[in-house]
Copies of this chain bind each other. A is one copy, B any other.
């Protein structure tokens, strides 16, 4: 996932970031840069760079005479891909997965509706390819291949929406889907109903039927909500 090794300060972040997002340091905890520098065996300058990054993520606040204090969770930049990855990798994973899935259920239907209006013919073709790939890999424990096409499918929808902010959620969706296959239980072949929905969605987009695209995507995301027992009665 993360390259991780973009400099020494990156290494520090890879350890310190997850610790904070995992709630290892309760809000208000105070860290001192020199102490951290010693602990991670880096110079103060490197430590300061790491703190600056954490600060820009609103995970911590650095104040004179006080130190580096950990901020309460509701002030974090929860849309930062790095923060999302850290949370998905740690104890906070279940909640992060739930909130992301709810986010998907809000975004993706609208994105699909827009995609039906704005998708290029190349994007329509690619979408169909992915759907066909999903069919081909939906049986016989080809989970990896299925995941690949599933991720690509949703990425195309988000990109084709023409909204830059939707497009940037592609990585997040990829992370969620891949987590479902790898991290969580998914022994059996994917639900045939889900495959069908994707195929019909590809058709709807190609047919420029925004309403159908939106509804079909809503069905897909409702399925995802149910997988996590998030009730939507």
Contact = CB atoms under 8 A, between A and B. Distances in A.
Contacts of A45: 45, 48
Nearest to A105: B110
Interface stretch (A49-57, A144-152, A175-183, A195-203): A49-57
Interface size range on A against B: 35 or more
Nearest to A75: B168
Interface in A148-201: 163-168
Given A45-B45, A49-B48, A53-B56, A164 B78 contact: yes
Per DSSP, are chain A's interface residues mostly helix, strand or loop, or mixed? Answer: helix
19 contacts: A6-B62, A45-B45, A53-B53, A53-B56, A56-B82, A73-B164, A74-B168, A77-B79, A77-B80, A79-B80, A79-B168, A95-B164, A100-B165, A102-B114, A105-B110, A106-B107, A106-B109, A106-B111, A107-B107
- The 7 A-B pairs of least Cβ separation, nearest first, read A79-B79, A106-B110, A53-B56, A49-B52, A99-B165, A106-B107, A103-B165
